[in-house]
Structure 1
Amino acid sequence: MNFSKLLKNELLKIRRSKIIPLLFIAPILVVVSGIANISQYFTSEYTNAWGAMFVQSALVYAYYLLPFSMIVFCTMLSAQETQNRGLVKMMTLPVSRSALSLSKFCLLVFVLLAEIIIFFLVFVVAGLAATQMMGVPSGIPVLQISLWCSGLFLTMLPCIGVIWLLTVLFSKPLWSIGLNLLLTIPAILAANTSFWIVYPYCYSGYFVSLLLNAFSTGETTSALQWFPFLPIALLIFLLALQLSSWCFGKVRT
């Protein structure tokens, strides 16, 4: 079985699961509540309404709800293989463990991308409604919002790599969920230390925090220093991906 067929099988599993409806919960929750809270402070002279709305919506989302949702999705994907000894049966086919693990991780990346796109769409619609209702003369900065959402997506990749690795390592979902939650909760504290760069659970939140600091000084872009962040984040991502490929199926079977 080649890799493309594995991906196709994984996509079919998503269509039969409850993952797709769950993708809408976190984006709608944070966007609607965030914009509703911040829009009441808008005036007709407000010049950075979209930046304020994005930070208000994305801060809690990036630090907590986005990692939490990915933990749920990882657990759901893993549970599909343990039902009716599905993974054991899959291992009898001419397919490698690493290829199967990589196909599932690619599916997780697709799920992450889908959730970020939903966040983008909900944010634009809610933001447009808020600016119209409050009489703020501001066009939709589609390119800028796209860059902000792209930053959320890219900074989240190392985190889901580690989340997936822990999901693979523990045969009991309770252990992987508990450990991932335990590592997610102090993310905002880790982001305020010099060790944030080796703590992938805080990357997305740290990115939004930098946007908040930039907006407060009149800038429109994040001040994230790509070096040494990029090499370290890439190393964590590749290491987690490699370890999960090695260990996939060994613990469970």
Structure 2
Amino acid sequence: MSILELTKIEFKKVKRSKIFPLLFIPPMLVVISGVYSLSMYMTPEYTNAWKAMFIQSALLFGYYLLPFTMVVVCVMISNREIQNNGILKMLALPIEKGKLALTKFFVLLTFLMIELSVFFITFIVAGVIATTVMNVTETIPVMYLLSWTLKLFLTTIPSISLMWAITVFFEKPLLSIGLNLLLIIPGVLVANTPVWFCYPYCYSGYMVSDALHTITTQGAEISSSLQLFPFIPCAIILTCISLVAAVKQFGRKETK
């Protein structure tokens, strides 16, 4: 059975779960509140209004709400297999455990993509309303917004791989959620240290914070301080280590 077929089965399992409503609430709340708070200061002469609104909304979303949501999604997916010994039935199938673990990780990435799509669409709608009310005539920078949505997606992958590994190692929901939350909360503090690139939980927030420093209130831009090295190699290594650990640990307890 291919990973694509397994992925279809996984989505059938969560079709009636509360995961999908969960993916909609955080991005809508953070976008509406962020756009509203910034729109109060806009004037028709306001420059870079869309960029400012996006950074305002993405800051809290990248540091906390997005990772918080994905932690809960990880636990919900894991619990569906633990309940009623579903994982034993799954492991009884002639399918490699590693393939099953990777399939669930790909499902997590799909949910991440869905949540970011909701964030993008909600932001466009809220931004159009805000700029119309304030008579701001700046055109929608669609490519800029799409590029940032892609950046949020890519920079969240390392943290999701670590979240999934922790969820696999610690099957008890409270333990896995608690440990992940303890790692998420200090993300904003670690992002201000020279070794931020070693801490996947701060990647998305750091990217947004860096963008915030490149845009002044007058709309002028300064060069970014983001260094791709050692950030990218470190992110790839940490992602691979987390996935390998999750694959090796997945189902080990049940097969003993």
TM-score range (shorter-chain normalised) is over 0.9
- How far off is 1:96 after superposition? 1.1
Q: Say if 2:70 is the partner of 1:70.
A: yes
Change (3 A) 1:189 1:252: farther
Residue number in structure 2 paired with 1:49: 49
In structure 2, list runs of 5 or more residues that go unmatched. none
Q: 1:247 to 1:212 in 2, by over 3 A?
A: same
Give aligned-pair identity as a percent: 51
Counterpart of 1:239 in structure 2 is 241
Match of 1:151 in 2: 151
Residue 93 (structure 1) aligns with = 93
Aligned to 1:218: 220
Q: 1: CA distance between counterparts of 2:77 and 2:223?
A: 35
Aligned to 2:60: 60
Q: Deviations over 1:102-132 (max 9, x none)?
A: 0000000000011001100000110011000
For normalisation by structure 2, the TM-score amounts to 0.96
Q: What is the match of residue 116 of structure 1? A: 116
Alpha-carbon RMSD: 1.4
1:252 Cα offset (Å): 5.2
Query: Normalising by structure 1, what TM-score?
Result: 0.97
Task: Report deviation, 1:219.
Answer: 2.6
Query: Offset of 1:3 from its aligned partner?
Result: 2.0
Q: Which amino acid aligns with 2:249?
A: C
User: For residues 7-61 of structure 1, what are the alpha-carbon distances to aligned partners after superposition, in whole Å with 9 as ceiling and x for unaligned?
Assistant: 1101112212111111110110000001010100001111110111011111011
1:171 touches 1:251 (CA, 8 Å); kept in 2?
Answer: no
Partner of 1:7: 7
Matched residue, 2:133: 133
1:116 is matched by which residue type in structure 2? L
Distance in 1, matches of 2:155 and 2:225, equals 14
Structure-2 change in CA distance of 1:220 and 1:29 (3 Å): farther
| AA of the residue aligned to 1:248 | F
Provide the rounded CA distance (Å) in 2 between the counterparts of 1:83 and 1:150: 35
Shift >6 Å, 4+ stretches: none
CA contact (8 A) 1:33 1:57 kept: yes
Partner residue, 1:248 = 250
Residues 161, 240 of structure 1: 8 Å contact kept: yes
Letter in 2 for 1:16: R
1:67 and 1:126 mapped to 2: Cα distance? 23
Shift of 1:80: 0.5
Shift of residue 171, structure 1, vs aligned partner: 2.0
